A and B are shown apart, each in its own frame.
Chain A
Amino acid sequence: MKEILLPRVRTSRWLAVGWQGLSILMALLFTTLVLLLTGAPPLEAYRQVLEGAFGSLKRATDILVAWVPLMLVTSGLLLTFTAGLWNIGVEGQIVLGAIATTGVVRALQHTDLPPPIILVLALLAGMAGGAAWAGLVGLLKVYGGVHEIFGGLGLNFVATTLILWLIFGPWKRPGIGSMSGTEPFPERLMFPTLPGLRLSPWALGMALLSVALVYVLLRNTYFGLRLKAIGKNLRAAHLLGVPTTRYLFLALLGCGAMAGLAGSIQVTAVYHRLIPPISSGYGYLGLLVAMLANYRVTWSVPVAFFFAALNIGSIQLPITLKLDSTLSGVMQGALVLFVLLMQGVRARWQAKTTVESDDGA
Chain B
Amino acid sequence: MAPEWIMGLAGVLAAAAPLLIAVIGETFSERAGVVNLSVNGTMLLAAMAGFAVAVRTGSLELGFLTGILVGAGMALVVAFASLTLRQSQVAVGLVLALLGRDLAYFLGNPFMGVPGPRVGALPVPVLQDLPLLGPLLFRQSPLVYIAVLSVILAWIWIFRTRPGLVLRCVGERPPAAFVRGIPVTRVRYAYAVLGGAMVGFAGAAYTLDLKGGWQGPISGIDGVGWIVLAITIFGGWHPVRGAFGALLFALLQWLSLVLQPQLPGVPSQVLNVAPFPLMIFALLLTNLGSTEWVQTLLARLPESGRRLALRILRSLQVSPPAALGMAFEEE
Q: Which residues of A pack against B, CB within 8 Å?
A: 1-2, 4, 34, 37-38, 86, 88, 140, 143-147, 149-151, 153-155, 157-158, 160-161, 164-165, 168-169, 284, 287-288, 291, 323-324, 326-327, 329-330, 333-334, 336-337, 340-341, 343-345, 347-348
The answer to whether the Cβ of B304 comes within 8 Å of any Cβ in the partner chain is: no
B contact face: mostly helix, strand, loop, or mixed: helix
Given that A333-B95, A337-B95 are known contacts, is A1 also in contact with B175, CB under 8 Å in the complex? yes
A134 to B139, CA, bound (A): 46
Given A144-B284, A155-B280, 11 new contacts (CB under 8 A): A2-B331, A38-B106, A140-B280, A146-B280, A150-B229, A150-B280, A157-B223, A164-B269, A333-B95, A337-B77, A340-B95
Query: Per a CB cutoff under 8 Å, which of A155, A327, A340, A348 touches B91?
Result: A340
A177 to B3, CA, bound (A): 39
> Are A330 and B85 closer than 8 Å at their CB atoms?
no
The answer to whether the Cβ of B92 comes within 8 Å of any Cβ in the partner chain is: yes
> Are B293 and A326 closer than 8 Å at their CB atoms?
no
* Chain A residue at minimum C-beta to C-beta distance from B100: A333
> Are B94 and A1 closer than 8 Å at their CB atoms?
no
| Chain A residues with CB under 8 A of B276 | 153-155, 157-158
A contact face: mostly helix, strand, loop, or mixed: helix
A78 to chain B, nearest CB (A): 15
* Chain A residue at minimum C-beta to C-beta distance from B109: A324
> Are A337 and B279 closer than 8 Å at their CB atoms?
no
| Chain A residues with CB under 8 A of B230 | 150
> Are B269 and A168 closer than 8 Å at their CB atoms?
yes
> Are A150 and B291 closer than 8 Å at their CB atoms?
no
Q: Which residues of B pack against A, CB within 8 Å?
A: 37, 77, 80-81, 84-87, 90-92, 94-96, 98-99, 101-103, 105-107, 109-110, 175, 178, 223, 226, 229-230, 233, 267, 269-270, 272-273, 275-277, 279-280, 283-284, 286-288, 290-291, 293, 329, 331
| Chain A residues with CB under 8 A of B280 | 140, 146, 150-151, 154-155
A70 to B229, CA, bound (A): 28
A334 to B102, CA, bound (A): 10
- What are 28 of the A-B contact pairs (CB < 8 Å)? A34-B106, A34-B107, A143-B293, A145-B288, A145-B291, A146-B283, A147-B283, A149-B37, A150-B280, A150-B283, A154-B279, A154-B280, A160-B273, A165-B267, A168-B269, A284-B98, A287-B94, A288-B95, A291-B95, A323-B109, A329-B99, A330-B102, A341-B80, A341-B85, A344-B84, A344-B87, A345-B85, A348-B84
